[in-house]
């Protein structure tokens, strides 16, 4: 039986390792609050699937699960422009770089 099987053992396991897991997630995500959320989400998944887990090293398994969950969160993250920059998007006419210099799309003639 591993540390995931009994609630008391799981709670002690989490209490002992949580700061380490938060540091792992924080390094991936760059934000402590988001790291705490990633760790909590991972722990819920581990607790709910504890009956199916037959791991030899629960600490390594949990650390890897936290790391992978943090990578997924980072990949799903949406980057938002500051409001000042968002207002300017789409208002500028793009210029195309040619060997002869910059040309605006409206100044080109069709053949």
Dist CA 4 CA 47 (whole Å): 7
Q: Say which residue, 49 or 81, is predicted with more confidence.
A: 49
Which among 28, 27, 6 has a CA at the least distance from the CA of 14? 6
Structure token digits, residue 91: 């208002």
Question: What is residue 83's predicted lDDT score, i.e. its pLDDT?
Answer: 72
**What are the two backbone dihedrals, phi and then psi, of residue 96, each rounded to the nearest 5 degrees?**
-110, 135
The count of C-alpha atoms lying within 13 angstroms of the C-alpha of 45, restricted to the half-sphere facing its C-beta, is 12
The tens digit of pLDDT for each residue in 19-77 reads 999 999 999 999 999 999 999 999 999 988 888 878 888 889 999 999 999 999 998 87
Count CB neighbours of 107 within 10 A.
9
Residue 14: is its pLDDT beyond 80?
Answer: yes
Question: What is residue 72's predicted lDDT score, i.e. its pLDDT?
Answer: 93
Question: What is residue 80's predicted lDDT score, i.e. its pLDDT?
Answer: 66
Q: What CA dihedral angle connects 59, 60, 64 and 67, to 10 degrees?
A: 60
Structure token digits, residue 106: 């409206």
| Mean pLDDT across 79-92 | 65
Confidence of residue 3 (pLDDT cuts 50, 70, 90): low
């Amino acid at each position: 039986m591993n540390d995931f099987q009994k609630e008391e053992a799981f709670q002690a396991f989490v209490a002992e390792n949580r700061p380490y897991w938060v540091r792992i997630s924080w390094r991936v995500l760059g934000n402590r609050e988001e790291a705490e959320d990633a760790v909590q989400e991972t722990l819920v998944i581990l607790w709910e699937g504890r009956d199916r887990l037959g791991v030899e090293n629960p600490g390594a398994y949990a650390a890897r699960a936290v790391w992978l969950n943090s990578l997924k969160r980072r990949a799903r993250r949406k980057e938002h422009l500051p409001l000042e920059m968002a207002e300017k998007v789409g208002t500028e006419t793009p210029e195309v770089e040619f060997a002869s210099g910059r040309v605006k799309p409206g100044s080109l003639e069709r053949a």
